[in-house]
Amino acid sequence: MAELYVKPGNKERGWNDPPQFSYGLQTQTGGPRRTPLTKRVAAPQDGSPRVGHPPPSSKDSRPPPMGTCPATGVEPPSSPVTESEALMEDVLRPLEQALEDCRGHTRKQVYDDISRRLALLQEQWAGGKLSIPVKKRMALLVQELSHHQWDAADDIHRSLMVDHVTEVSQWMVGVKRLIAEKKSLSSEEAEQEKSTVASENQYQASNSLPNLGGSPDSLT
């Protein structure tokens, strides 16, 4: 069959010259057929993938190097230390302001003792010696104190002494005394305001009465 594709060569060619193929004969016979590119390839029987994609590089499966963080678009949560400090300021500032309001109405010994207890509260809070339930209840106590809800603030103080006595026993006495002093001050201010309003009303009423007696000159 191979002889059909060989043209008559030069008789004078050497023994090692390559044979000359007939192009026309190849055209007639169509040449060797090739598989069309659009022909669907049957799936292999051994279960191996049909498409010969290269295996994933080992670099893709490596964990990111130390010190790098993938950009996930999610910000890291805020530090609990920062939140604790902010909450501590929200609790201590109103307590210190309430103590300052009582400065001129409270005996110096009581004032100094409350101030010392509040300093101890701040020290234990900053040192991480207070649990989250104690911090939350103290925040509620301060809110009730700021709204002049004395009974509610005293109830929270009592619950802290019952449930967390080991944490709050050293400084809660000062908080209780501060609630009592602030309540007493508020009552005094309310009484003074009532007395002032009553005096003003009496003065206005006396000036609004008509002069029925007339002047001495009008009697002559």
Q: Answer whether 205's CB lies under 8 Å from 198's CB.
A: no
The angle formed by the CA atoms of residues 135, 79 and 143, to the nearest 5 degrees, is: 30
Distance CA(151)–CA(146), nearest Å, equals: 12
Q: Across 38-42, 52-56, 83-87, 98-102, which has the greatest mean pLDDT?
A: 98-102
Per-residue model confidence (pLDDT) at position 8: 54
pLDDT digits (tens, 9 = 90+) for 113-127: 999 999 999 999 999
pTM (two decimals) = 0.52
Average confidence (pLDDT) over 157-179:
96
Q: Answer whether 164's CB lies under 8 Å from 133's CB.
A: yes
Which carries the bigger pLDDT value, residue 152 or residue 21?
Answer: 152
Which carries the bigger pLDDT value, residue 186 or residue 171?
Answer: 171
Q: Answer whether 106's CB lies under 8 Å from 181's CB.
A: yes
Per-residue model confidence (pLDDT) at position 31: 52
pLDDT digits (tens, 9 = 90+) for 44-57: 555 555 555 555 55
Distance CA(141)–CA(175), nearest Å, equals: 10
Q: Is pLDDT above 80 for 111?
A: yes
Q: How far is CA 149 from CA 91, 97, 155, 179, in A?
A: 16, 16, 10, 10
Per-residue model confidence (pLDDT) at position 5: 47
Question: Which 3 state secondary structure label does DSSP give 138?
Answer: helix
Q: Answer whether 50's CB lies under 8 Å from 41's CB.
A: yes
- Residue 212 DSSP code: -
Distance CA(207)–CA(134), nearest Å, equals: 58
Question: Could you tell me the sign of the dihedral formed by the alpha carbons of 149, 151, 154, 159, in that order?
Answer: negative
